[in-house]
Amino acid sequence: MIDYTYSIGEILQINQTSSLLNQAPFYFSASVRDIFSSVKAGATLHLLPSYLFAFPNKILHYIEEQKINIISWVPTIFTFFAKENILNKFKITSLKTVAWVGELIPVKTLNIWKKYLPLATFINLYGPTEIAGTCCYYKVDREFKEDEILPIGKSSNNTQVLVFNEKMQLITPSQINQKGELYIKGSNISLGYYNDKE
C-alpha cells in the first residue's frame, strides 16, 4: 500500500495544495487510494455524501464552490454527467486532474469532459482486482475519435507489465498487433485471494 500511495501521488500530482473529492464507498479500493494519498501529501480530502449522486448539479456546484482540483471516479459517473448535459452550466476552473479507473471510458464521454475542461489533465488508470490499486496509467495526450480505445499506458513505479502469447513467449513492444495475456509483477501485487488456496 505504501508503494501505491507514493506512485498514485506522483501520477495524479497530489500535494499540499490538492483538494480531492472522494465519491467511493469505503469498501471500494478507490476510497483507500484517495484517503492514503491525501494523508501522505497533506492534501484536503472531501468525502461526498452518496445521496448527492441523485443531484449531479449539486455535485458540480460543490466542485466549483470547494475548488476541488482532483477527481478520480469510475467512467459510469463521468458518462452520467455527460449524458445529463450539465457541464456547460458550470465554469469549473479549479479541476486540474481528472482520472478514471475500473472500466473503459467511452471516448465520447472523455471528449465531452475535455470540451468543458480544456486545461485539465485526463488520466486513464488501469489495474485488475489482484493488485492494490493501479499498475498502469495513460495521460491523454491527443484527441481520440469515438471509435478508438484509450491505451492503458505505461506501468507505474515499482511495477512491470509484460505480455506473453499463448506459448508463453514474451511479446516485445516492437511486435505490434500481437495478442497475448498481461502479466504484472511488482510490490503492489497480492499473494492471492483471501481464503482461496488456488
Secondary structure of residue 163 in the 3-state scheme: strand
pLDDT at residue 131 in the model = 75
List residues bridging with 182 in a β-sheet.
163
pLDDT at residue 148 in the model = 92
Q: What is the pLDDT of residues 103-153, one digit of tens each?
A: 899 999 999 999 999 999 999 999 887 776 788 999 999 999 999 989 999
Q: ∠ at Cα 61 (57, 65), nearest 5°?
A: 175
The architecture (CATH level 2) of 2-159 comes to 3-Layer(aba) Sandwich (3.40)
pLDDT, averaged in runs of 10, over the chain (198 residues)? 80 94 78 86 91 88 94 92 90 93 93 95 88 86 93 89 93 89 83 72
Burial of 119 (0-12, 13-18, 19+ CB in 10 A): exposed
How do strand 136-139 and strand 121-126 relate by DSSP bridges?
Answer: antiparallel
Among 110, 189, 185, which residue's Cα sits nearest to residue 151? 110
This model's pTM is above 0.85: yes
Cell of 121: 489533465
- In the chain, what percentage of residues exceed pLDDT 90? 52
Spatial distance between the Cα atoms of 36 and 1, rounded to a whole number of angstroms: 9
